[in-house]
Amino acid sequence: MSAPLLTIEDVAVELPTPRGNLRAVDHVDLSLEAGRTLGIVGESGCGKTMLSRAVLQLLPKKAKLTGRVMFDGQDLVRLEPESLRRLRGRDLAVVFQDPMTSLNPVLTIGTQLMETIQEHLELDAPAAKARSIELLAAVGIPAPEQRLAQYPHQCSGGMRQRIAIAIALSCEPKLLIADEPTTALDVTIQAQILDLLAREQRRRHMAMIIITHDLGVVAGRADEVAVMYAGRVVERAPTQALFKRMHMPYTEALLAAIPKLETAPHTPLPAISGRPPDPTRPLKGCSFAPRCNYATGRCHEAKPVLTSAEMPGHLYACFHPIRMTEGIEA
């Protein structure tokens, strides 16, 4: 097997705050092969967005990043700004969470599409325009030619996210990072956008990282899932394996928090009680222990490391993994 397209090696991100250093990402290792999809799941503040920003090298100025991000044979952390710039937008693309704020309000959609194309591909203006129209049509925008002259505020949220996806796809990237691409959208639009991303990914054979707080989003769409909690990856497995047999109590709790059709109305959701630990005050033991139903004294004393389960490729960080016998419908 060839080398993975993206390898995240021992990446840690620290943000200085008035209350001390905040460890947003705590020594994460992940890898992704060309054409595959990785889902990163976790609740707000678990570090999933910071991790994606670390890959893109778009961390806040004061953030301290350690570790290596190997992309296509180059370490993005140590890359010259100019080489990084040539890589971004061309091989490495991103779709942000909120399409209402990720498009520039004073530039036309055409400008925002064509500038990326003309920056990275050697196309003249008419060719770049033709390509923009093609891209808009591919992401399902009706009357793409007229849209080029319009501004973002003249489009709906779903439309804007489609445009953001068209921008991301414009130079045929090898890796697309979708950071909660549907969180800010209406429920009816969410599935459409996810299907669009999946379709374009297959067509273009690009690798994709989907970041989400919703296990349901990655269920049918990711090849592999990494569950993050308090800056660390706590469980990582091929999607099928994860849903069949999850080991980490946190993953189970995340899944239980998704409403199901068959439950009776007005049944309270089994929400995860308590809150994630204060990231400026790291715990000695497992960070999930204070909220975990299975926690014992040992969980508060020592940090479990990611270890291999019986299934190949299935890793988890827990002293008391759940031994589920029957699978859960994914």
Query: Interface with another protein by CB under 8 A: which residues?
Result: 56, 58, 85-90, 92-94, 96, 98, 101-107, 115-116, 119-120, 151, 153-154, 164, 167
Record the tokens describing residue 325, joined without a space: 């016998």
Nearer to another protein, 116 or 132 (CB): 116
Nearer to another protein, 58 or 191 (CB): 58
Nearer to another protein, 128 or 167 (CB): 167
C-alpha pair distances (Å), 277 with each of 41, 103, 194, 258, 285: 17, 34, 31, 22, 11
In the complex, the smallest distance separating the C-beta of residue 111 from another protein, rounded to whole angstroms, is 8
In the complex, the smallest distance separating the C-beta of residue 97 from another protein, rounded to whole angstroms, is 8
In the complex, the smallest distance separating the C-beta of residue 108 from another protein, rounded to whole angstroms, is 8
**Of 92, 98, 16, 18, nearest to 60 (Cα)?**
16
Q: What is the DSSP string of 177-203?
A: EEESTTTTS-HHHHHHHHHHHHHHHHH
Nearer to another protein, 8 or 167 (CB): 167
For the chain, the straight-line distance linking the first and the last C-alpha, in angstroms and rounded, comes to 28
| Cβ atoms of residues 272 and 287 within 8 Å | no
In the complex, the smallest distance separating the C-beta of residue 308 from another protein, rounded to whole angstroms, is 35
Nearer to another protein, 88 or 232 (CB): 88
In the complex, the smallest distance separating the C-beta of residue 57 from another protein, rounded to whole angstroms, is 9
The H-assigned helical ranges of the chain are 48-56, 81-87, 99-102, 109-120, 125-138, 144-147, 157-169, 187-204, 215-219, 239-244, 249-256, 297-301
